[in-house]
A = this chain, B = another copy of it.
Amino acid sequence: MKSLGRHLLVDYYGCGSSLLNDPVMLEKHLKIAVSKAGATIVSSTFRTFEPYGVSGIIIIAESHFAIHTWPEYNFASIDFFTCGDSVDPRKANEYIEKVLLPERYDIREIGRGNFSNMNITKCAI
């Protein structure tokens, strides 16, 4: 069984970074994370919420990265969803860990689109 996509769901607890309420810096770093993964940016949207918190999405040619932050819990969740063999979402997580400086993080990798017979090198989107 092979998967069309690799989806990393990472929850960062006890973030030591002061960036969790800074959409400009979070967008900058998540875009760097895209490049670390070897992926290609298509579009990017970041928003702040009152009284605090940021949501940001980057559509990439290989699926998407998404971040949501809860500064009041020193917490951030990020999705690194990629398809194709030429990218590695784990590289993106390695970079973001150094930016957010969490006390710990939980990482789960889930295959999306599992087929017994397909060309996994193909990235349709």
Contact = CB atoms under 8 A, between A and B. Distances in A.
A100 interface: no
Contacts of A52: 124
A93 interface: no
A42 interface: yes
A102 to B, nearest CB: 12
A47 B53 CA distance: 26
Interface in A1-32: 4-5, 7, 9, 11
| Interface of chain A, main secondary structure | strand
Contact residues on A (Cβ < 8 Å of other chain), bracket = 35 or more
B66 A64 contact: yes
Contacts of A70: 4, 113, 124-125
A54 B64 CA distance: 12
Interface in A36-52: 42-43, 45, 47, 49, 52
Contacts of A80: none
13 contacts: A4-B70, A42-B47, A42-B55, A49-B61, A49-B125, A55-B59, A57-B57, A57-B59, A57-B64, A68-B83, A68-B125, A71-B124, A106-B114
